[in-house]
Amino acid sequence: MNGKLHSETGAFSSDDMRAEILNPFVHKLELDNTYDKIKTAIFTVILLPFRVIVICYLIVTAWFLACIGLYGLSEEDLRRKPMTGWRSKLRFSILSLMRLVVVAAGFHRVRILGRQHQAGSSREAPVVVMAPHSSFFDAIAIVCLGAPSVVAKADTARIPFIGQLINYTQPVYVWRDDPNSRQNTIKEIIERATSKEDWPQVLIFPEGTCTNRSCLITFKPGGFYPGVPVQPVTIRYPNARDTVTWTWEGPGALKLLWLTLTQVHSSCEIEFLPVYYPSEEEKRDPKLYARNVRDVMAKALGVPVLDYTYDDCRLIARAKNLGIPGAPCAREVSELRAALGLERSQLELHLAAQGLQDRARWLTAEEFCQRLGVPNDQKTQRLFEIFVQRSSGLVYFPDYLLCAVFLSLQQAPLSKVLNYAWKLYDTGRTGRLNSAGFEEVTGKCLGLCQQDASNTFHQADLDEKGYLTYDEFISFAQKRSEFSFVFTTDGAHKPKAQ
């Protein structure tokens, strides 16, 4: 999660209009002046310990009550019917303790706007959809909504103490590694939403991942399959310093927790929008239903909508982990290439396979367009801007082609991408890379730091020739477990240090 990259990037919304916003998966947070640093240091000493002690006491107490309430109940019992009797009444005590946790964390100002429609005999809004999802602090909304049944990753059940509290909401767990998880999740939501029993409302974060709240990304249709009315709920954090946003690129959870707990107070605003009743067309088309609800919520928030998904997060994370040039904008590059017809023509693969031979490597905007055979329009200019070197105003063409190759071969082993990279960065056109060239290629394809790449080069260059061919490195890598990821389609991790 840690990183300091990327200022503004652009993206195209569903209506093909440019939305000049921050990358939704990036959040930058730094203590950039002396006053903030001194204040944080003081409150770290005098305020943080007190809050941590109080919060831990309240959570442990709530966990103890949850353990009592869940005693004797299996996972199947929790999924079969809602809690009743004393177990249901115990929910109020647990909820009261969690509300005190919110206050102890410094959220003295949780402002509620609009009216919540409770689930019950009327079944007016059995499903609640909340956005934007940007932080683990969004759990505040779960407390304020009266602990509805959440749709959450199955891994959350194993979080110490918190897992049992989540279990008490009788959640719908999503097993992302299970190919049938999506169908099972949808089935369970439909059963609860249409059941005559008094289930708690089902709360869904339809974006499926955290963003920086600069836009609303694609809503997953799972919560809209039942075709029942939903109540949209928006959440905001109107604070001078954003210490809550937890994205793929930015501060880690512990840093955010530390900076939030050392604020004198923090604010959160939850707005209940009117219940959305689907039309017959929306009931037949959950994706249309999801898009229309997203539009309503985006209008209330005053932010654009962008067709980004959880898979885009994974793509960007993988590209960044491997060191692919332009990684933070991988999704946008893919969209631009598709819009320009490059994805379909596979011209970049052809150029990369040939190598650059005697052709220039550093290109102006006009030369960039000519090389790709595309018009010099807004889309091409944006593509150029993503890869331009600010110091020279030029694009290093091998970097662009490597990113294009990576995006074109997402389902192929990394060894194929590496094969193209070997040709792109072989300035001598000999099929050989010296130590510097090898470091550049493996740094941009395999995520190796300079030291690891140098060590690997010397280990693979058994004859001490001072160069390596592609076949020589592949032969070496096949014998080393730390490079096994090069030969699979899952390259989301990088090799361990040598």
**C-alpha–C-alpha distance, residues 370 and 348, integer Å:** 13
Count the Cβ atoms, other than its own, within 10 Å of residue 52: 15
SS3 48: helix
According to the model, what pLDDT value does residue 174 have? 76
Q: Mean pLDDT throughout 366-373?
A: 92
According to the model, what pLDDT value does residue 476 have? 92
**C-alpha–C-alpha distance, residues 348 and 371, integer Å:** 10
132 prior amide bond cis, ω within 30? yes
The pLDDT tens digits of the residues spanning 424-453 come to 988 777 888 999 999 999 999 998 999 999
**Confidence label for 118 from pLDDT (cuts 50, 70 and 90):** low
According to the model, what pLDDT value does residue 359 have? 74
| Amino acid of residue 26 | V
**C-alpha–C-alpha distance, residues 128 and 234, integer Å:** 10
Q: Mean pLDDT throughout 118-128?
A: 67
The pLDDT tens digits of the residues spanning 297-315 come to 999 999 999 888 777 878 8
Contact status, residue 213 vs residue 268, Cβ threshold 8 Å: no
The pLDDT tens digits of the residues spanning 217-252 come to 999 888 898 888 999 999 999 998 999 999 877 899
Go through the chain and tell me how many residues it has: 498
According to the model, what pLDDT value does residue 200 have? 86
The pLDDT tens digits of the residues spanning 61-95 come to 999 999 999 888 887 788 788 888 898 889 899 99
Query: Does pLDDT of 154 surpass 50?
Result: yes
Contact status, residue 418 vs residue 491, Cβ threshold 8 Å: no
Q: Mean pLDDT throughout 387-391?
A: 89
120: left (phi over 0), alpha (psi -120 to 50) or beta: left
**C-alpha–C-alpha distance, residues 219 and 206, integer Å:** 5
Count the Cβ atoms, other than its own, within 10 Å of residue 76: 7
Q: Can you tell me which residue has the tokens 């107490």?
A: 61
Query: Does pLDDT of 11 surpass 70?
Result: no
Count the Cβ atoms, other than its own, within 10 Å of residue 48: 15
Query: Does pLDDT of 267 surpass 90?
Result: yes
**Confidence label for 328 from pLDDT (cuts 50, 70 and 90):** confident
Handedness of CA 400, 404, 407, 412 (dihedral sign): negative
**C-alpha–C-alpha distance, residues 101 and 95, integer Å:** 10
Buried b (16+ CB within 10 A) or exposed e, 316-342: bbbbbebbbbbbbbbbbbbbbbebbeb
Q: Rounded to the nearest 5 degrees, what angle is found at the Cα of 486, between the Cα atoms of 482 and 492?
A: 85
According to the model, what pLDDT value does residue 3 have? 32
Q: Which helix (H) or strand (E) holds 111?
A: strand 109-113
Contact status, residue 368 vs residue 345, Cβ threshold 8 Å: no
Kindly state the percentage of the chain with pLDDT values over 90.
50
**C-alpha–C-alpha distance, residues 381 and 332, integer Å:** 13
**Confidence label for 100 from pLDDT (cuts 50, 70 and 90):** very high
Nearest to 402 by CA among 355, 456, 338: 355
Burial of residue 286, with CB atoms counted within 10 A of its CB: 0-12 exposed, 13-18 middle, 19 or more buried: buried
Burial of residue 156, with CB atoms counted within 10 A of its CB: 0-12 exposed, 13-18 middle, 19 or more buried: middle
**Confidence label for 117 from pLDDT (cuts 50, 70 and 90):** confident
Nearest to 224 by CA among 190, 195, 198: 190
Query: Does pLDDT of 144 surpass 70?
Result: yes
Alpha-carbon distance values, 70 to 143, 168, 298 (Å)? 19, 7, 38
**C-alpha–C-alpha distance, residues 226 and 190, integer Å:** 5
Contact status, residue 118 vs residue 201, Cβ threshold 8 Å: yes
According to the model, what pLDDT value does residue 257 have? 95
According to the model, what pLDDT value does residue 8 have? 37
Query: Does pLDDT of 271 surpass 70?
Result: yes
According to the model, what pLDDT value does residue 489 have? 72
**Confidence label for 367 from pLDDT (cuts 50, 70 and 90):** very high
According to the model, what pLDDT value does residue 216 have? 93
Domains of the chain: 8-308 (no CATH), 311-487 (1.10.238.10)
Count the Cβ atoms, other than its own, within 10 Å of residue 351: 22
According to the model, what pLDDT value does residue 189 have? 82
According to the model, what pLDDT value does residue 123 have? 61
Buried b (16+ CB within 10 A) or exposed e, 411-425: eebbbebbbbbbbbb
Q: Mean pLDDT throughout 142-153?
A: 86
Nearest to 324 by CA among 398, 377, 385: 398
Query: Does pLDDT of 461 surpass 70?
Result: yes
According to the model, what pLDDT value does residue 109 have? 82
The pLDDT tens digits of the residues spanning 28-70 come to 888 878 888 999 999 999 999 999 999 999 999 999 999 999 8
**C-alpha–C-alpha distance, residues 24 and 213, integer Å:** 7
The pLDDT tens digits of the residues spanning 164-222 come to 888 888 888 877 666 677 778 888 888 887 777 888 888 999 998 899 999 999 998 88
Mean pLDDT, the chain, as a whole number?
85
According to the model, what pLDDT value does residue 162 have? 84
Query: Does pLDDT of 485 surpass 80?
Result: yes
Contact status, residue 200 vs residue 149, Cβ threshold 8 Å: yes
Kindly state the percentage of the chain with pLDDT values over 70.
91
Helix then strand then coil, % of the chain, to nearest 5: 50, 10, 40
- Which residue did the predictor score with more confidence, 23 or 420? 420
